[in-house]
């Protein structure tokens, strides 16, 4: 069945223009003025915008950590994403026991039957030796063209600088992108020990023991390692500190192949939010910082220093002892209450995959900080290009997947946990007034969200075999 979207304004990363858009099967067939089709279902998009479905390149679904698990799985997380206009997510495969391929297969077994939007995988490299180095070369054949390494989480996820340097060299040779989590693991361990010894157990000390200087230093270290690894392509994840924007700008000015992402929570919240009675809701790593950092990150987006907005979606319940209703069933998953007497035991991570586009539209486009075209670039086109999905995803062109958000720029609503569809008991943007929201969302030509109603199903999301990405 064909679908003809008429009279809308198409918004791409480079321009906005009035046109009709014809979907046939899973693909965009035609874009043009005055299109007709003998038996297409016609959707009138007068006064609406037609956007490519969003791509959130940083999510953690069904991820075991802190003795619990992130509360959205590949079904519920994909559903929440879709309600906010996102139709593709890229999740991280942890490197547990066994070969990389065994880990990837285990993640497929979890994700494939449940996924409700299209998805890809990044591979975490948290253990490195000659065998792993060799196996990295086979990951592109499995559709994985990006690796994540950590300079923090000593004794768990962290690699030594020498290992990160080797990973970058291997990744470069294999046509892959290295993503870096930049904090100083050694300093964090000392500060945490001191904080606990002094009885400083409240959520605020999570931020105080992970200083911004560690992120700044580690991001420059990563840039320098990548430069010395033959200008290996590098992507700085979850940028949170003003100084990281400066390091990214510095690296780019020096011609390095370095790119970066920030996340909505780093644009709006500050350390003082952790001092609220419900401060644990804001615990994530790296932590939220200061207004100065918020402003510098915004400027980084406005000035095209930062290439993408992702979410690091990794939700937990605020009170996992109290069930919530989810699709007619009561659900409770242990969450932030696990650390009520010790901030180091609070599961790190926040909900956000469904919030990203509506929040950034109101706060970014609505407040005149971003053009609609920059918005599309940051939320769809740039991640598609960087992560090897373009032009199948992130583009409004004939032949692309018909992943489309019909966006009503005049729709006003009071946002919060009752609107967002994450499987958790809170939302960071409770009671925020939003203007601009998706009303219809298509995944490969199938209408999965229609005026607040869900039409998707577990397993309809497809695994994306990513190719080598672009350097932006
Ligand atoms: O707090 C967070 N961000 N949890 C997810 C793990 C990570 O480092 O991205
Ligand atoms: Zn990280
Ligand atoms: Zn993450």
Residue 470 lies in a domain: no
42 lies in the same domain as 100: no
Which residue's alpha carbon is at the smallest distance from atom 4 of ligand 1? 349
Among positive and negative, which fits the CA dihedral 48, 364, 257, 81? negative
Distance 48 CA to ligand 2 centre (A): 36
62 pLDDT higher than 90? yes
Whose structure tokens read 């958790």?
424
Give the residue whose CA is nearest to atom 9 of ligand 1.
312
What are the strands of the beta sheet with 234-239, ordered from one edge?
Answer: 54-59, 86-93, 118-124, 146-150, 177-181, 234-239, 258-262, 308-309
How remote is the CA of residue 419 from the centroid of ligand 3, in Å?
24
Three-state SS annotation for the chain: CEEEEEEEEEECCCCEEEEEEEEECCEEEEEECCCCCCCCEEEECCCCEEEECEEEEEECCCCEECCEECCCCCCHHHHHHHHCCEEEEEEEECCCCCCHHHHHHHHHHHHCCCCCCEEEEEEECCCCCHHHHHHHCCHHHHCCCEEEEECCCCCCCCCCHHHHHHHHHHHHHCCCEEEEECCCHHHHHHHHHHHHHCCCCCCHHHHHCCCHHHHHHHHHHHHHHHHHCCCCCEEEEEECCHHHHHHHHHHHHCCCCEEEEECCHHHHCEHHHHHCCCHHHHCCCCCCECHHHHHHHHHHHHCCCCCEECCCECCCCCCCCCCEEECCEEECCCCHHHHCCCHHHCCCCECCCCCHHHHHHHHHHCCCCCCHHHHHHHHHHHHHHHCCCCCCCCCCCCCCECCEEEEEEEEEEECCCCCCCCCCCCCCCCCCEEEEEEEEEEECCEEEEECCEECCCCCCCCECCCCCCCCC
Q: According to the model, what pLDDT value does residue 251 have?
A: 98
pTM over 0.85: yes
CA–CA separation, 132 vs 148, rounded Å?
Answer: 14
The whole-number pLDDT of residue 1 equals 84
* Residue 279: inside a domain: yes
Q: Please tell me the number of the ligand nearest to residue 284's CA.
A: 1
Nearest to 374 by CA among 387, 361, 355: 361
For a ligand 1 pocket test, name from 314, 338, 428 the mutation site with the most ligand atoms within 8 angstroms of its C-beta: 314
pLDDT at 355: 98
**Are residue 268 and residue 194 in the same domain, yes or no?**
yes
Mean pLDDT of 142-149: 98
Domain at 446, CATH number = 2.30.40.10
Q: Compute the distance from residue 65 Cα to the ligand 1 centre, in Å.
A: 10
How high is the pLDDT of residue 60? 98
Q: Say whether both 398 and 373 belong to one domain.
A: no
Give the model confidence (pLDDT) of 335-390 as tens digits.
999 999 999 999 999 999 999 999 999 999 999 999 999 999 999 999 999 999 99
Q: pLDDT per residue over 310-325, tens digit each?
A: 999 999 999 999 999 9
Ligand 1 closest atom vs CA 92: 9
pLDDT at 316: 98
Q: How far apart are CA 22 and CA 391, in angstroms?
A: 17
Q: Which two tokens stand for residue 334?
A: 């242990």
Question: Which ligand 1 atom is at minimum distance from the Cα of 283?
Answer: 1
Could you write out the three-class secondary structure of 29-49?
Answer: EEEECCCCCCCCEEEECCCCE
Read off the pLDDT of residues 75-101 as tens digits, 9 standing for 90 and up. Answer: 999 999 999 999 999 999 999 999 999
Provide the token pair at 45. Answer: 């998009």
Measured N-to-C along each axis, helices 212-228 and 161-173 cross at an angle, to the nearest 10 degrees, of: 50
| Spatial separation of the C-alpha atoms in residues 471 and 251, rounded to whole Å | 13
Give the total number of structural domains in the chain: 2
Q: Domain span at residue 403? A: 3-52+388-454
Average pLDDT over residues 25-44: 98
Pairwise CA distance, residues 261 & 272, whole Å: 23
Give the pLDDT confidence of 416-425 residue by residue, as tens digits: 999 999 999 9
Residue 63: nearest ligand to its CA? Answer: 1
Give the mutation target among 284, 287, 311 for probing the ligand 1 site: most ligand atoms within 8 A of CB. 284
Nearest partner of 468 among 132, 123, 141, 131, judged by Cα:
141
301 and 192 in a common domain: yes
Chosen domain end from 383, 411, 442: 383
Burial call 163-178: b when 16+ CB within 10 Å, e when fewer: bbbbbbbbbbebebbb
Same domain flag for 291 and 398: no
Query: Residue 205 maps to which CATH number?
Result: 3.20.20.140
Predicted confidence (pLDDT) per residue in 207-244, tens digit: 999 999 999 999 999 999 999 999 999 999 999 999 99
Q: Looking at the structure, tell me whether residues 334 and 406 fall in a common domain.
A: no
Q: Which residues line ligand 1 (CB under 6 A)?
A: 60, 181, 284-285, 312, 314, 348-349
- Residue 456's pLDDT band (boundaries 50, 70, 90)? very high
Task: Give the number of the atom of ligand 1 that is nearest the alpha carbon of residue 63.
Answer: 5
Q: Is the peptide bond before 23 cis (omega within 30 degrees of 0)?
A: no
Residue 200 lies in a domain: yes
Asked whether residue 462 is domain-assigned, the answer is no
Mean pLDDT (the chain, rounded): 98
Closest atom of ligand 1 to CA, residue 150: 8
Residue 465 placed within a domain: no
Residue 206 belongs to a domain: yes
Do 161 and 35 reside in the same domain of the chain? no
Beta bridge partners of 146: 177
Tokens of 72: 């959205």
Assess whether 20 and 64 both reside in one domain: no
Give 125's Cβ-side CA count (13 Å radius).
Answer: 32
Pair 94, 156: CB distance under 8 Å: no
* 60 and 47 share one domain: no
Supply the pLDDT for residue 113: 98
* Cα atoms found within 13 Å of the Cα of residue 291, Cβ hemisphere only: 1
- The arithmetic mean of pLDDT across residues 391-398, rounded, is 98
Say whether both 61 and 115 belong to one domain: yes
Let me know if residue 373 belongs to a domain.
yes
For residue 349, which atom of ligand 1 is closest to its CA? 1
Ligand closest to 179 (CA) is 2
- For 409, residues 6+ apart whose C-beta sits below 8 A from its C-beta are 48, 49, 361, 435, 436
Are 45 and 66 members of one domain?
A: no
| 408 and 370 within one domain | no
For residue 207, give the ligand nearest its CA.
1
Residue 149 lies in a domain: yes
């Amino acid at each position: 069945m064909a679908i003809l979207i008429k009279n809308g304004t198409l918004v791409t990363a480079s321009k906005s223009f009035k046109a009709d858009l014809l979907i046939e099967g899973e693909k965009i067939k035609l874009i043009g003025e005055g299109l007709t089709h003998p038996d297409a279902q016609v959707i009138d998009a007068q006064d609406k915008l037609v956007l490519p479905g969003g791509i959130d390149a940083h999510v953690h679904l069904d991820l075991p950590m802190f003795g619990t698990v992130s509360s959205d799985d590949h079904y519920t997380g994909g559903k929440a994403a879709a309600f906010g206009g996102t139709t593709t997510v890229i999740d991280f495969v942890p490197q547990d026991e066994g070969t990389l391929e065994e880990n990837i297969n285990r993640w497929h077994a979890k994700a494939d039957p449940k996924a409700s939007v299209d998805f890809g995988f990044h591979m975490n490299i948290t253990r490195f030796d000659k065998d792993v180095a060799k196996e990295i070369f086979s990951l592109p054949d499995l559709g994985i063209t990006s690796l994540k390494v950590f300079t923090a989480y000593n004794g768990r996820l962290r690699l030594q600088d020498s290992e990160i340097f080797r990973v970058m060299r291997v990744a470069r040779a294999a046509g892959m992108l290295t993503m870096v989590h930049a904090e100083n693991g050694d300093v964090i361990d000392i500060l945490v020990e001191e904080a606990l010894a002094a009885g400083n157990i409240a959520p605020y000390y999570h931020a105080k023991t992970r200083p911004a200087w560690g992120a700044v230093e580690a991001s420059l270290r990563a840039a320098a390692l990548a430069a010395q690894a033959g200008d290996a392509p590098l992507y700085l994840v979850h940028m949170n500190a003003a100084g990281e924007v400066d390091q990214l700008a510095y690296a780019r000015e020096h011609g390095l192949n370095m790119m970066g992402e920030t996340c909505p929570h780093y644009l709006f919240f500050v350390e003082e939010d952790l001092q609220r009675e419900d401060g644990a809701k804001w615990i994530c790593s790296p932590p939220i910082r200061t207004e100065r950092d918020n402003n510098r990150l915004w400027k980084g987006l406005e000035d095209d220093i930062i290439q993408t907005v992702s979410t690091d979606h990794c939700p937990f319940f605020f009170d996992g002892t109290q069930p919530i209703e989810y699709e007619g069933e009561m659900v409770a998953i242990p969450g932030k209450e696990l650390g009520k007497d010790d901030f180091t035991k609070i599961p790190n991570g926040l909900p956000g995959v469904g919030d990203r586009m509506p929040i950034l539209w109101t706060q970014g486009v609505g407040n005149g900080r971003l053009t609609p075209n920059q918005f599309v670039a940051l939320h769809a086109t740039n991640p598609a290009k960087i992560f090897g999905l373009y032009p199948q995803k992130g583009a409004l062109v004939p032949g692309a997947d018909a992943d489309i958000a019909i966006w009503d720029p005049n729709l006003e609503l009071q946002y919060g946990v009752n609107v967002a569809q994450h499987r958790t008991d809170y939302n960071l943007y409770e009671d925020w007034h939003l203007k601009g929201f998706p009303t219809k969302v298509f995944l490969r030509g199938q209408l999965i969200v229609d005026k607040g109603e869900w039409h998707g199903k577990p397993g309809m999301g497809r695994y994306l075999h990513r190719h080598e990405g672009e350097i932006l």
